[in-house]
Structure 1
C-alpha cells in the first residue's frame, strides 16, 4: 500500500494517507522569502496569503500551471518541502511510496518528468494515475467492473472526463476551460460592470461563495476611476452569469466524448450516471449544464475536492494490472 496519495493540482494540493485520511489540503503555492541567512520557504495557505505582498527578491511560484508541470526545479522544491511537512515520523528512515495524480492526456515525457522530479524531491517509488480514475476510486467505484463508468474532474487548471471499463480507459476528453478561467471571468465582470479591480483571491472567493449561498456577496477592491478602496455588493446571479460562458465551453469540450462512446455503454451510464469531482464541481452552474449537455444524470460525491487524493492513497494497494490509464 502507498504511504501517501498526492493530488498536485493547479489550485490546491491534497495529500491523503490510506489510514489517516487527508493530512494536507492547501493552495499549491510556494514562496521563497529572502532573509539575512538566505531564504525561508513558505508553503500552502501561508504562501498564498503573501501573493501580491512580497518584497523584491522574493519568489512566488506555482508548481503546476493549467494542469501541467512547467518548472521541474520548482516542483522538486515544492514536493520536498511538502514531504517534510506532512511525513509521519516512521517514514523518515526510508523514502515513502507515493501515488501522484496526472492529467488524463499527459504524454509519456510529461509523466516521466513528474516521476523523476518526485523521486528527486525525496519520494521513493512513485506511481501516476490520471485524476478521473483516482476520483473514481475515491468515490467508491470499482474500476474493474464490467460496466462502463464515467468520471469528470474539473479543477482550477483543467477539466477532464474519462470513460472506462474494467480498468481501461475507453475514451477521454480534456480542456483548459476550468476554475482559473472562471475566476478570470469574475474579475473581468467586476471591472467592466462595476468599475472595480479585484485580486485573484477576492474573485475566487466570490466564485466559491456563489456556490454555497443565495445571499448577496461583498466584493472588496480598488475603484478603477479613483484608485480608492471600495466595496460592491454582488448578486449571486451576476457571478453565475459571469462564469456561464466558461462553463459552456468546458461542457462542450467534455461532451465530445459522446462521439466515441460505445453504444453498449449508454445503458450503463443511464443507470450509473457521470460522477463530477474536483474543486470546481460545485461552481454554478457546472452540474446542471453538464447534465443537460450529456443527457446522463450527473452526481457530485460527498467530498468532490478531496476524492482524487483519497483515490490515489487507495490505488497504492491495488495490483498494477487492475489499473490501465490508457
Structure 2
C-alpha cells in the first residue's frame, strides 16, 4: 500500500473530465456523465464511458445526467460521486495521506460555487487543505506553453462543452475574461433543433455530435454533399431517414460561431492598449474540445484580421496545465491570488 497518494490535476468539464496523475500522465479521459435511476434514491447505474454507452438505450425510469452545467456544479451529490469514481479509477483507494488536487474551474464563478467544488473534492477523497482551484483559461494557457508569467499579454479562447471563455492573461493572472454559455453541447443542440424544425425528425445527442464532427463547419463547405441522417419521425413515431445538404449544418452552426466572435471582440475592446499590442503581434490561441469545429480558426482569423492558432491537442491543454502544477508544486507560488 502506498502511504502518500500522488498529486492529481483534474480538468473538470461539463462534457468530459480528464485526470492527470503525477509521474503517470493523463490516466482518465471520460464523459462527465452518469446514468441514474429516476426514483427517489437515485441509484447510480453507470459512470463515464459506461454511462455514455447507455445513452438512448436506458430502460424506463433511468436517466442520463450531467452533474455540471456551464462549468458549474448543478448536482452536488452526483459531482461528488463522479469525482470519487475518477479518483479511485486513477490512483486506487489505499493511501494514508490523501492527494493534493489542482482542479480547473470557470474564471468567473462565485466564491459560493468555488466552495461547493472544494467540498465535493474533499468528500470525494482530496486532502482538505490542499485543493487548489485554477481558472481554466489560465490552465489552458499554461498547458499550451504560453508565457503566462511574463508582462506580455496572451489571449486564450477556451471552447468547452458547456461554455466558451475568452481571457487575457499576463503576469501570472487573468487580466479580464468573459464566459458565455456556448460550447460543444450547444452546437449539438443546435443541430438537433434544426433537424427537428426542418425535417420533423428527432435525433439523439450522439448522432448530433457525430454530425458536428463529420460535417459541421464554421466556413461554407467547398462542396455540398448529401448527408444521410437517421432518427424518429415526430408525427408517426416511426424510424425515419433523411438526406440533408451539408451546407445546412454550416448554416445551423453559424449562430454559435458568431456569438463566440462577438465575445472575442468585446474582450479585445476592453483590453489595455499595451496588452492589445501584444495580442495583435502574437494572435489568439484557440483551445478546448469545441475549438476543433472545422474551419473555426480560419473563420475567426478572417473576421478579426488576427492570427489564430489552434492548439495541437485542444482537449488536453487544460489538463496539461493542472497536470504540470501537480508535477511542480512550486508553480503555485508564482500564481496571483486571482487564480484561487
**Same fold, TM-score > 0.5, yes or no:** yes
Distance in 1 (CA, whole Å) between partners of 2:176 and 2:274 is 14
**Which one of 306, 319, 322 corresponds to residue 331 of structure 2?**
319
Q: What's the CA shift for 1:193?
A: 2.2
Q: 1:302 aligned to 2:302? A: no
Which residue does the alignment assign to 1:105?
108
Which residue does the alignment assign to 2:48?
44
Which residue does the alignment assign to 2:149?
144
Q: 1:30 aligned to 2:34? A: yes
SS at structure 1 position matched to 2:240? strand
Could you report, residue by residue, the CA deviation over 1:9-65 in whole angstroms, capped at 9, with x for unpaired residues? 11111112343322111211012469xxx9564211110222233334545321211
Q: 1:225 aligned to 2:232? A: no
SS at structure 1 position matched to 2:290? coil
Do the aligned partners of 2:156 and 2:166 also contact (CA within 8 Å) in 1? yes
Which residue does the alignment assign to 2:169?
164
Could you report, residue by residue, the CA deviation over 1:226-258 in whole angstroms, capped at 9, with x for unpaired residues? 322123333432212111111112221232111
Q: What's the CA shift for 1:4?
A: 1.8
Distance in 2 (CA, whole Å) between partners of 1:169 and 1:311 is 15
Quickly say closer, same or farther: Cα 1:241–1:301, change in 2 above 3 A. Answer: same
Unaligned regions of 5+ residues in structure 1, if any? Answer: none
SS at structure 1 position matched to 2:297? helix
**Which one of 122, 129, 135 corresponds to residue 134 of structure 2?**
129
Quickly say closer, same or farther: Cα 1:93–1:56, change in 2 above 3 A. Answer: farther
Given the two structures, how large is their TM-score scaled by the length of structure 1? 0.90
Distance in 2 (CA, whole Å) between partners of 1:165 and 1:248 is 26
CA RMSD of aligned residues (A): 2.4
Quickly say closer, same or farther: Cα 1:63–1:40, change in 2 above 3 A. Answer: closer
SS at structure 2 position matched to 1:53? coil
Distance in 2 (CA, whole Å) between partners of 1:259 and 1:153 is 18
Given the two structures, how large is their TM-score scaled by the length of structure 2? 0.87
Q: What's the CA shift for 1:300?
A: 0.6
Distance in 2 (CA, whole Å) between partners of 1:224 and 1:113 is 40
Which residue does the alignment assign to 2:259?
249
Q: What's the CA shift for 1:265?
A: 1.7
Q: 1:79 aligned to 2:83? A: yes
